[in-house]
Amino acid sequence: MSLQRFVLKRGLITVPLLLGISLLTFGMVHAIPGDPIDFITLFTELDPQTEMEIRAEYGLDQPVYIQYIDWVTSAATGDFGRSIITRDPVTSEIMERLPYTLVMGIMAFGVTLVTAIPTGVIAAYYRDTKIDQASRVFALLGIAVPNFLLGLLLLLVFASWLDLFPILPPTSKGILSYDMLVYTLLPAITIGTGSTALLMRLMRSSMVEELDKDYVRTARAKGLPERTVVQKHVLRNSLISVVTVAAIQVAFIISGSVVVEIVFSYPGIGRLLVNRVGNRDFPVIQAIVLLIGVAVILANFVADVLYAYLDPRIRY
Amino acid sequence: MSSETSQRTTERGRIRVSGFDVDRVESREPLSSWEPDLQSEAGRGRLEYAWMRFKRNRLALFGATTIAFMVLLAVFSRPIQLPSSFPVLAGQTVQPFSLAPADPAAQDVITGYREPTLENLLAWPSAGLYLFGADWAGRDILSRVMYGGRWSLSIGFIAVAMALLVGVPLGSVAGYYGGKVDELIMRLVDLLYAFPFIVLAIAVIAVLGRGYWEMILALVVVGWLPYARIIRGEILSVKENEYVTAAKALGSRDRSIITRHILPNAMAPVIVQATLSIGTTVLVAAALGFIGLGLSPASAEWGVMLNVEQDAIARGRWWAGLFPGLAIFVFVMAINLVGDGVRDAFDPQGDQTDTDTGGLR
């Protein structure tokens, strides 16, 4: 199968998935017992005239399937209606905060790659030595430590005791300012620790598997320097398995950001989601949940295509 | 099959029927309600082997001891009185012990925070109070951490048990019958997997509202997915075995084939996953508490305790958050050690140094 056909075939699978998650996020509001209008009016008594107007504004006078089609078509063009709490357009509320979360996520991903790959390689190369044991202990700790505890401890040490960072993010300067980027390191490291623990062990086991293969013995037998064997042969092949978990990493970073943004009062979409769940601001909640679902599905798609590109065997 | 009876066949070249006692089949009363039960004995044998291997794993035993210790502390921290609406023993005290030095709700708002001091630690147990310091309302943190285990731990165990009750039957049905049922269930699983664990849990809480059982339900909605997937995969590989064909030939009903012949042989990876999931679930429950979508701010649930004190911790009152945070960490760590031990016990040939994600997504 050519790569194009694989991409097409894999892409077709995502279509029903995307439809499914849109149905789920839409259905959320209708799963609540009672009339959805109560969440817009916050249970205040209304005269019939105003109630009709509100129903018309939110499309609640239509049958459910029409409401769904309306919601999906306007969502596809980036229109999620207005927030119930702030009355601002949902899209602009999200777009305001999305860059923060994206920058933090990319940084966290960077932290993970930069730390996990070298340590995983070293742990595999010195397998069953003290170094390997240390990496195993780190992985166990990194998975078990709650990310909010880690974040709070980082704040305590670096912001309160050492005074290297402010306690609250310098949000007013914008995401691309130097101060904000430096501050973003803290949440990025917090999220990165957990995903490093996962990726490092994966890197180690795939590297161990590759090191045992015949071509490694051949490469060594023909007198290649050890550095070349590891870097040019083994590392390249074992990196393929890193790609397969890239999608899991994306999901891990998204869920991490939801919690960690609360710790650092970080102005991203995770904190927006949590705040609005408290207020039951459903247009915003639905938009963010849908956005996250789409992001994870796309990440899976990209990871599969990358994998098929790197390892042609799996196309069949 | 490990039992010696599996080697016997009545006829060469035919389907080798394994897993039940040929002699007993031949000599049984035609109208007796005898059902082949050796399969379940084989399943038990496997469990016994796994237990033997588990007992030799020191790290896993250490983890199990830690969990038992934390559970005991939580149960015996304060007396338990049954609610007066309870059908039996209404209003009776069923657990009279009180290990916690103070009432976790007893306040001393005027003094407020108290830093844990070395003198206090050395004077233990005569001083008793404020070993871990006191929080903003002057409540004894040690007592709260002990008592708070009741919430955090019970949420973890109950949510995982309920997720098993949902995931295992659905996965079994999907795997055994295949076809449209399989499609339906597995597409739903794929769909829900598109959302990260905590995001889906938050969405469910957005719908249901906050509270103890609401949180458990949210964790179950997310938690059943891995079991359905694992058990379906296992059943697909197990159901082609000859002993299943034999059970069908003997006229067993589908339900008894699934519960007596297939499930016992497909449960090992589910047990491993369930053990590791307890840790993940406690972690997510604490995270939900921390972001303010869990239990009420007055409760001593570990995540909630950190939530209430987050500003104080960032500004230097480390003890207010460190100890509940450590409680979560130690529990999750211990359960992961047990989970790794369980996996090694069931699958001694596997890569023993590989850590599992424990269902973290």
- The DSSP-derived string for A83-122 is -TTT-SBHHHHHHHHHHHHHHHHHHHHHHHHHHHHHHHHH
- CB burial class (10 A; 0-12, 13-18, 19+) of residue B325? buried
| Mean pLDDT of the region A151-176 | 82
| Mean pLDDT of the region A262-279 | 90
Mean pLDDT of all residues belonging to chain B: 79
pLDDT band at B354 (very low <50, low <70, confident <90, very high): very low
> Do B351 and A205 make contact, defined as CB atoms within 8 angstroms?
yes
pLDDT of B10-29, one tens digit each? 555 555 556 566 666 566 55
- Residue range A90-278, CATH number: 1.10.3720.10
CA distance A249 to chain B (A): 8
The pLDDT, as a whole number, for residue A291 is: 92
As a whole number of angstroms, the distance between CA B357 and CA A26 comes to: 31
| Mean pLDDT of the region B303-326 | 83
**Closest by Cβ to A280, choosing from B187, B192, B206:** B206
Q: Count of CB atoms within 10 A of residue A245's CB?
A: 18
The two tokens of residue B50 are 């796994």
CA distances from A91 to A72, A285, A300, B194 (A): 14, 12, 24, 22
pLDDT score of A302 more than 50: yes
Question: B114: which strand partners?
Answer: B134
pLDDT score of A24 more than 50: yes
pLDDT of B158-204, one tens digit each? 999 999 999 999 998 998 888 899 989 998 998 898 888 899 999 99
pLDDT band at B358 (very low <50, low <70, confident <90, very high): very low
The pLDDT, as a whole number, for residue B202 is: 92
**Closest by Cβ to A277, choosing from B202, B316, B321:** B202
Q: Count of CB atoms within 10 A of residue B164's CB?
A: 20
Segment holding B93, helix H or strand E: strand B93-95
* Between residues B90 and A137, the one the model is more confident about: A137
* Between residues B130 and B232, the one the model is more confident about: B232
As a whole number of angstroms, the distance between CA A201 and CA A124 comes to: 9
Helix residue ranges per DSSP H, chain B: 22-27, 38-55, 58-76, 118-122, 141-177, 179-193, 197-208, 212-238, 242-249, 254-256, 263-266, 268-290, 302-308, 310-314, 319-346
Task: Give residue limits of the domains in chain B.
Answer: 49-75+98-347
pLDDT score of B336 more than 60: yes
CA distance B79 to chain A (A): 30
Q: Which of A148, A193, A208 has the highest number of chain B CBs within 10 A, making it the mutation to test binding with B?
A: A148
pLDDT score of B299 more than 90: no
CA distance B303 to chain A (A): 9
* Between residues B139 and A259, the one the model is more confident about: A259
In the DSSP assignment, the letter for residue B195 is S
CA distances from A67 to A29, A50, A176, A233, B183 (A): 12, 20, 39, 56, 27
pLDDT of A43-85, one tens digit each? 677 777 877 777 777 777 778 888 888 888 888 888 888 888 8
| Mean pLDDT of the region B229-254 | 85
Architecture (CATH level 2) of domain B49-75+98-347? Orthogonal Bundle (1.10)
Q: Which of A255, A285, A290, A300 has the highest number of chain B CBs within 10 A, making it the mutation to test binding with B?
A: A255
Identity (one letter) of the amino acid at A53?
Answer: E
Task: Give residue limits of the domains in chain A.
Answer: 34-77, 90-278
* Between residues B360 and A162, the one the model is more confident about: A162
